[in-house]
Structure 1
Amino acid sequence: MASSVSFDEITEHISPASLKREFDGNYVSAHATLHVLQWNTLAQGLSNPENNFIRVKNETIAFDTRKWRILEQILIRKPDLCALEEVDTYDCFLQYHLPKYGYTCFFTPKPKSPCLGFQHDSANFKGPDGILLCFKTDLFDEIQRYHYQKAECDTDQKPAFFSIFELKHKPSSANIIFVGTHLKAKKQFANIRSDQAQTIIQYLTEHYSTRAHIIISGDFNGEADEPFYDIIRKAGFSSAYRTVLNDKEPLFTTWKFRENEGIEQEQCRTIDYIFYKSEGLVPIAILKLPSKEDIGSNGLPSNEYPSDHLALEAIFNINL
């Protein structure tokens, strides 16, 4: 059983202590609740400072230390459901540890993973990255799992990449549709992200009732003023963080410094979201985002946090 497994095997590998975070809201509820984690973990293959993070040192992203920090951040608050992107450490690490802590996993590598372009980096290359969905085995019955993907070059067919768990939540008997996705990166590809969002919504509309308990969680690689965001909201979804934060998204979910043609560039944006169908789910608490001062002047990843993206966590009441 997961409860008999000691957390010491993780914490003994972690020094200094990880960035501390707390929940905002009342997560003690008389209702059946659902605790969801959304996190782009940063692929190990993309973590090399020479290619990505100008203020980060090699020892900060060393795999032998960083893998334990990733595992810690997945498990530390014991979420019921996890959607993780940029995972390239499943086959070599996570698949051996997450089941010990009571999780059932579903990993799908990304087509044309950018990690494949760094196979020469023997210290960091771990294979293609992808989406990893997890659920607490003792809380759910799995009904089915599904993965959808089309090649990125196939733009006429609205390329998309998402995974789905269809689950029965034992405490409430509610069916939960849990979707994890990772949309196309870079600002100039807003039109592709729009197509990808439309593909996800079309699939959900064709396969599930409008009153289904659906969560779409992911790194959407775009801010709230982009078309994809309106497409999802107009389909009846709300953003958990925006709901709890009085109609505002967080100030940022990713913060890093990169180099472009010898010039340092700061990237600080909100591009990660947990969307939910408001008919069946009500967010009652969210994991607070740290400030820049909390993180430190070099941004992310850091010695206290293993990814350039901050994990989002939301706790929902389940309405039947």
Structure 2
Amino acid sequence: MMSDRLKALKQKSDDLGLPSLLPRPWCQLKAPAADDQIIRVMQWNVLAQALSKGEDNFVLCPGKALQWEVRRVRLIEEILTRTPGIVCLEEVDMMTHFNAELSQVGYEGLFFSKLWSPCLDVQDNSGPDGCAIFYLKDRLTLLSHDDIKIYVPPGRTLCNQVGLLATFSQKCVSQPRAFHVVVTHLKAKSGYEDLRRKQAEYLTDWVWQRVGEEPVIICGDFNGQPTEPFYEVMQNSKLNLTSVYRLLTQGHQEPPYTTWKVRGMVNGQAKVIVEEQHMTKVIGEKQETAEVKREEQRKAEAKGEEQRKAEIKREEQRKAEIKREEQRKAEVKREEQRKAEVKSEEQQRQEVKETVQGRRIATTESCSTIDYIWLSEGQFSALGLLGLPREQDIGSGRLPSLAYPSDHLSLVCDLILKN
């Protein structure tokens, strides 16, 4: 049933003229035993449709990639491609669509919206965004569930951020053991690091009061990098949590990115423009033409054979300096790629580029790790993880794109619940 639906979605993508989804490797950590009952968990901020456009527009993303006709296909295609038993989603403002699509292939869904969703401020919105949990009914039994409202000091102030807690047991197990799944979405943007710390403290305390030492999985877009205080709160909570995607790297560090986007403004208005590759080519052609003209002028002004030779020598020196600088930059880039280090949002690049039409574009590129799957350490065994796409596969326009419908990458892991 799921494979048939996935085949139909792939055909629809072909009909829309879309490329294949971003290629991503599967990283097998250990082989499962013959009688292991695997729990495959997906974590994904799907990008609310209402928030895909506006003042913080994805300026290098083709306009077609942001159309709902395209995204509605690609979102479900990505989920069914990964075949998760549990799906944790954030920024869901099209819950009716997700319910209709996923129920066809055996999923049941839970949803809790933000209290003051920014989607409601967008014209022609489809309702508030929020968090959702979907699960396959033939594999899992839903024992209970609860909505999560997050409060922070002073005075237990109610936040706009929310979550869901669901308790499951596996159906094909002789002695099923209950386990818990949480999905949440913490406050976004730089400058709110302390608020995210307080939200993480409240969340972990709230979950601890309800599950104690029982096994728990916490998924979410935490909107903060591993260097932020919230990360230490999660690690040091009574829940004894560990981030499963640290297993993806040899040094057990978080991956270099889970989101990679370019946002900006065009002539004071948000507008989708041509891809950065095309802009760079045009700018390069203009610069090359101007340089040739200057060179011709210098030659025309040069007098005598000695002056001509001196000019040639200076030009050769200039070219040699440019070549050395290009080699230096290439070496720096290779070193950065080897280390797989990512600049924080406080180090985001501000760039101004010129388009074919002469408009000027101020863009901000953000590449960071802010999405996580946390597990009760010692309660689960991780068998495998979905790897990240390479930078060259993501492309210069970054995310979202025609090959991927969100600015966040999905995280997927195979787990075994220990006895």
Q: Judge same fold: TM > 0.5, yes or no.
A: yes
Structure 1 residue 220: deviation in Å? 0.2
Structure 1 residue 244: deviation in Å? 3.8
Deviation string 1:22-45 (CA, Å, 9 cap, x unpaired) is 211146411322111000000100
1:191 aligns with 2:194: yes
Q: Distance in 1 between matches of 2:128 and 2:206?
A: 25
Q: Look up the match of 1:106.
A: 110
**SS of equivalent to 2:407:** coil
Q: Look up the match of 1:169.
A: 170
Q: Look up the match of 1:18.
A: 21
Larger mean CA deviation between 261-270 and 222-231 belongs to 261-270
1:151-162, aligned counterparts within 5 Å? Answer: 156-157=156-157, 159=159, 160-162=161-163
Q: Which has a greater percent of strand?
A: 1
Q: Distance in 2 between matches of 1:208 and 1:177?
A: 8
The question of whether the paired residues in 2 share the 8 Å contact of 1:220 and 1:272 is answered with yes
Q: Which has a greater percent of helix?
A: 2
Q: Look up the match of 1:180.
A: 183
1:148 aligns with 2:165: no
The question of whether the paired residues in 2 share the 8 Å contact of 1:35 and 1:316 is answered with yes
1:206 aligns with 2:305: no
Structure 1 residue 153: deviation in Å? 11
Q: Distance in 2 between matches of 1:69 and 1:3?
A: 15
Q: Distance in 1 between matches of 2:86 and 2:388?
A: 19
Q: Look up the match of 1:286.
A: 385
1:183-262, aligned counterparts within 5 Å? Answer: 183-210=186-213, 212-235=214-237, 236-246=240-250, 247-259=252-264
Q: Distance in 1 between matches of 2:165 and 2:6?
A: 29
Structure 1 residue 48: deviation in Å? 1.6
The question of whether the paired residues in 1 share the 8 Å contact of 2:112 and 2:163 is answered with no
1:81-100, aligned counterparts within 5 Å? Answer: 81-91=86-96, 93-100=97-104
The question of whether the paired residues in 2 share the 8 Å contact of 1:5 and 1:101 is answered with no
Larger mean CA deviation between 191-200 and 300-309 belongs to 191-200
Q: Look up the match of 1:43.
A: 48
The question of whether the paired residues in 2 share the 8 Å contact of 1:34 and 1:316 is answered with yes
Deviation string 1:251-294 (CA, Å, 9 cap, x unpaired) is 10000111268521110000000000012102121100012111
Q: Which runs of 4+ in 1 moved over 3 A?
A: 2-6, 150-160
- With normalisation by structure 1, the TM-score equals 0.92
The question of whether the paired residues in 2 share the 8 Å contact of 1:158 and 1:195 is answered with no
**SS of equivalent to 1:203:** helix
Q: Look up the match of 1:77.
A: 82
Deviation string 1:127-155 (CA, Å, 9 cap, x unpaired) is 21111101111111111111112589987
Deviation string 1:158-212 (CA, Å, 9 cap, x unpaired) is 63511011111223412110000000001211111111111111112111132x1
After superposition, the Cα gap between the structure-2 partners of 1:138 and 1:158, relative to the gap in structure 1 and judged at 3 Å, is same
After superposition, the Cα gap between the structure-2 partners of 1:49 and 1:305, relative to the gap in structure 1 and judged at 3 Å, is farther
Aligned CA-pair RMSD: 2.1
Query: How many residue pairs end up in the alignment?
Result: 313
- With normalisation by structure 2, the TM-score equals 0.71
Q: Distance in 2 between matches of 1:104 and 1:27?
A: 30
Task: Could you tell me which runs of 5 or more consecutive residues in structure 2 were left unpaired when the two chains were aligned.
Answer: 269-360
After superposition, the Cα gap between the structure-2 partners of 1:52 and 1:151, relative to the gap in structure 1 and judged at 3 Å, is farther
Amino acid aligned to 2:401: S
Q: Distance in 1 between matches of 2:179 and 2:405?
A: 30
Between the aligned residues of both structures, percent identity stands at 32
Task: Could you tell me which runs of 5 or more consecutive residues in structure 1 were left unpaired when the two chains were aligned.
Answer: none
Deviation string 1:223-261 (CA, Å, 9 cap, x unpaired) is 001111111111210000113424111110000111268
Q: Look up the match of 1:134.
A: 134
After superposition, the Cα gap between the structure-2 partners of 1:293 and 1:154, relative to the gap in structure 1 and judged at 3 Å, is farther
Q: Distance in 1 between matches of 2:205 and 2:223?
A: 20
Q: Distance in 2 between matches of 1:78 and 1:311?
A: 12
1:313 aligns with 2:416: no
